[in-house]
Chain A
Amino acid sequence: MSKRIRSKIARGSGELAILALLAEQPLYGFEISKQIGERTGGALKFTLASLYPLLYDMEKRGWLEGRWQANHAGRDRRYYRLTLAGRRQLAPLRQEWRTFFQALDSLAGVSHA
């Protein structure tokens, strides 16, 4: 698999993971990366270098909105929440990945591997 395709898959899965997480509640960058790591058992991992360019890009596309507010410890953090456009992206993205995994499963039997 070429580096370009790998990067596109990583980016697509990252977008879905972030949208799905923020659909539940607004979070700031560190929380997003921590929750993704914890909830996927470490299978998906976002470093600062991979997370923020993606967050900013999704924000530019109008899927997310960032706003500074104090966290539970009283420190200012930039919380991201889904916009209406972001919410609309979630269902088709989920469907795309479902189809992708079904296709991969029928080809390579990944769910039985």
Chain B
Amino acid sequence: MPDWREKVRELLGAGSLPPENREEVILELAAHLEETYEDGRAGGLTEQAAVERALQEVEDWHILSAHISRARSEEDPMNDRTRNLWLPAMVSLLGASVLLMTLQRVGFQPRLVWIGRMAMLFYWPWLAGLPVFGAFGAYLSQRAQGPVRARLAAALCPVLVLLITLCLILPWALAIDGFSALRLAYFGLAVANWVAIPGLALLLGALPFLREAGVREA
């Protein structure tokens, strides 16, 4: 019976395996080949045939070495969370922000809706465009096998950022200008204006991608 550890070491060559994992990988692969060989022998194969059968487990050792190296490397340029949450969230945030900035840059006048002494601003083209970005964020997350909550978070990222900003501003505003019921009402209105309504628009676009889908790659 060959020395499987030496055999694997020789076949893997210098390769690209990370040095800190190399010996462990060699041990594990050698153990697998050894058991494949013993299985073959127990099944009635000659020693030569059992060795050949074991070695047929790998067609190309260089390719295997590269695959293992990639799989065991600690450096993952893009982990699952980046793929299924941060990147899709950035796309929907960027899309929604650029659209709003463009509308403001070209001088689009928002529609003012007065509620008593307070006004709500409606950028209709922006609200109409938000479902597209919500859909895009949720779709990208779904494509990266994101769970439903990641798809939802990716789609709603633009309004979540606005909500966090408003929540950060509120205590400062109250501390500087003093507490008043009117200020709280303004805050509520701002939440409705910049979070709730745009959030509904984003959600509308994301809905088709929030169901548990079938095998997406197939």
Contact = CB atoms under 8 A, between A and B. Distances in A.
Interface of A: 5, 8-9, 12, 28-30, 33-34, 47-49, 51-54, 56-57, 60-61, 75-78, 92, 95-97, 99-100, 103
B57 A96 contact: no
Nearest to B148: A92
Contacts of A34: 39
B147 A92 contact: yes
B36 A30 contact: yes
30 contacts: A9-B217, A12-B215, A12-B217, A29-B31, A30-B31, A30-B32, A47-B57, A48-B29, A48-B36, A48-B57, A49-B57, A49-B59, A49-B60, A49-B67, A52-B28, A52-B29, A52-B32, A52-B64, A53-B67, A53-B70, A53-B71, A56-B68, A61-B80, A76-B27, A78-B31, A92-B147, A96-B212, A96-B213, A97-B215, A103-B214
Given A30-B31, A56-B71, A60-B76, A49 B215 contact: no
Given A52-B29, A53-B64, A78-B28, A47 B58 contact: yes
Given A9-B217, A52-B71, A56-B71, 9 more contacts: A5-B217, A5-B218, A9-B215, A12-B215, A28-B31, A49-B63, A53-B67, A78-B27, A96-B214
Interface of B: 24-25, 27-29, 31-33, 35-36, 39, 56-60, 63-64, 67-68, 70-72, 76, 80, 147, 212-218
Contacts of B28: 29, 52, 78
Contacts, number: 84
B35 A30 contact: yes
A100 B215 contact: yes
A9 B32 CA distance: 25
A29 B70 CA distance: 19
Contacts of B32: 29-30, 33, 48, 51-52
A50 B27 CA distance: 17
Nearest to B63: A49
Given A29-B28, A49-B58, A12 B218 contact: yes
A101 B68 CA distance: 31
> Across chains A and B, which 10 residue pairs bring their CB atoms closest together, nearest first?
A56-B71, A99-B214, A53-B67, A48-B57, A100-B215, A8-B217, A57-B71, A30-B35, A49-B58, A47-B57
Contacts of A5: 217-218
A8 B218 contact: yes
A57 B80 CA distance: 12
A75 B31 contact: yes
A51 B27 CA distance: 15
A78 B32 CA distance: 10
Contact of B58 (A8, A48, A54, A56): A48
Contacts of B27: 76, 78
A99 B31 contact: no
Nearest to A53: B67
